A and B are shown apart, each in its own frame.
Chain A
């Protein structure tokens, strides 16, 4: 645990395996088989932290699907961004994309998804958790990260503390709030084994509605739609980037997310942009999406423009 004096505190009264401490993720260790991890909707995490003047990748609670009850043990200021999970403070509705004051004894509740899938709760200076290989991001299967450093989720009985006393509160420009509109168009950077897919398949990829399967988690999300055909069925395993869209033998693509395995051997069409990955993280099984091709350099320019929105003060 950190030796710095800690402030504030939330007592966890009810939780689920899908409530995780996350930050920007683990880097520089992927050659050891350690997954990237980190907040799936990194854009919402950035906003939650920005609202309090935190470093954008400070530790937050990633709340997937709700079912979380917290009791405030001290007065303080928190921020919420991302999905609308029917959050309330002592029964009063809390809207995401802003900071809010809490008083000792108040109860902070997350019910179920009303819009989007994942909400991000930030606290002044970030939540306190041990750094494991440079990050507190929780990965249960790797037994890395989280409050105890063993990858476990936020569990009932846990106490969450934060690292700074006073936040530098900010207000978001309404126009910058991500809207999570239905049937999003997700950009896919063309590459990898794209040339090994049939012409019909390449047409289908970008001209079909894809439905999100129930087999969806932080490792990857399976998409249902037309069957894609690739000349090769498997390859020698190689490193896989974030958002990679791989197509196993059944022809149904899988988007590989933050907790993906570090190497793999299925042919790929390329990889979603980070912005597309963040948007996908807000989709629930059964929702539809479309894929749109983008070239690497175009995507890089767009990504740098996106990042510039957090520079303004």
Chain B
């Protein structure tokens, strides 16, 4: 694959969108990661934030240190001879997940919609290695994909006011785990006992853009042993 040439779009007084791709593709991430790395190097302390998403990078720089023309030069530098980041480096996270109706209320719905039945649905959801496309919505909330077409399900028409931490959901062709209590409209299949966002985690977030993730089905006893909270949605703290 040829190195992408970013299109630069003004996003705000001190930020640019670097548009590398036009559509979502698992092949985008190695380039986005490589570009992030190089931009950190070329901007140094003048880089305030760099937010990767599916096809873009939002670059927020310090205008007290550099002006707009210099920012464009540094971007050009960063993209010179860019090589895609290697996939093997990050390894793969295994997220233990207790798939159960009590914590995954859309399990029956998705099983029916897909015509697969619950056991096969769980096997398929956990049988695929996903990629983290972006973090957003909440700290540590990783948008992962792509979920196979048969499992793709639109968001709930009325979002829930409260979703328990660790809840594993599907929206369209993406899957995610809610790191903290929050409202949300994803279809819930189960719950993961792992901490996803914590100050004790190096880099704060267990999942980072570009990481690979697998869900590993576990039973209730294992879920509790791993510190999971099995209280149903409405009453969970």
A residues touching B (Cβ–Cβ < 8 Å)?
Answer: 27-34, 36, 132-133, 141-144, 189-192, 236-244, 261-264, 268, 270-271, 273-274, 296-297, 299-300, 303-304, 307
Contacts and interface: CB of A to CB of B under 8 A. Distances in A.
B141 A304 contact: no
Contact of B205 (A33, A192, A236, A307): A33
User: What 8 A-B pairs have minimum CB-CB distances, sorted nearest first?
Assistant: A239-B58, A191-B10, A271-B12, A239-B51, A241-B12, A263-B136, A33-B135, A241-B15
Contact of A31 (B55, B137, B209): B209
A142 B53 contact: no
Given A261-B136, A271-B12, A133 B48 contact: no
A189 B199 contact: no
A237 B54 contact: yes
Given A236-B53, A238-B53, A132 B199 contact: yes
Nearest to B63: A300
Nearest to A237: B53
Nearest to B10: A191
Contact of A142 (B11, B56, B138): B138
B53 A189 contact: no
Interface string B4-31: 0000011111110100000110000000
Given A133-B204, A238-B55, A263-B51, A33 B140 contact: yes
B197 A32 contact: yes
Nearest to B58: A239
Contacts of B117: none
B180 interface: yes
A191 B9 contact: yes
Interface centre among A133, A144, A238, A242, by most chain B C-beta atoms within 10 angstroms, is A238
Given A32-B197, A236-B54, A189 B137 contact: no
Interface in B117-165: 134-141, 143
B57 interface: yes
Contacts, number: 136
B63 A304 contact: yes
B139 A34 contact: yes
A299 B204 contact: no
A33 B68 contact: no
Contacts of B56: 236, 238-239
B10 A239 contact: no
B20 to A, nearest CB: 11
Given A32-B139, A141-B138, A189 B49 contact: no
Contact of B180 (A31, A142, A303): A142
B182 interface: yes
**Chain B residues touching A, range:** 35 or more
A239 B32 CA distance: 13
A300 B14 contact: yes
B115 interface: no
B50 interface: yes
Nearest to B15: A241
Given A34-B139, A192-B11, 18 more contacts: A29-B49, A31-B51, A31-B135, A32-B197, A32-B205, A133-B199, A189-B12, A190-B10, A191-B12, A192-B10, A238-B58, A239-B15, A261-B136, A262-B135, A263-B53, A264-B136, A300-B13, A300-B67
A262 B55 contact: no
A264 B208 CA distance: 18
A191 B68 CA distance: 14
A262 B139 CA distance: 9
A206 B92 CA distance: 50
Nearest to A195: B9
A270 to B, nearest CB: 7
B64 interface: yes
Contact of B48 (A28, A243, A263, A273): A28
Nearest to B36: A31
Interface centre among A29, A241, A299, by most chain B C-beta atoms within 10 angstroms, is A241
B212 interface: no
B13 A237 contact: no
A274 B140 contact: no
Interface centre among B58, B143, B197, B203, by most chain A C-beta atoms within 10 angstroms, is B58
A241 B60 contact: yes
B50 A32 contact: no
B48 A238 contact: no
B13 A236 contact: no
A303 B55 contact: no
B139 A33 contact: yes
Contact of B10 (A29, A34, A237, A270): A270
B52 A31 contact: yes
A32 B204 contact: yes
Interface in B143-196: 143, 180, 182
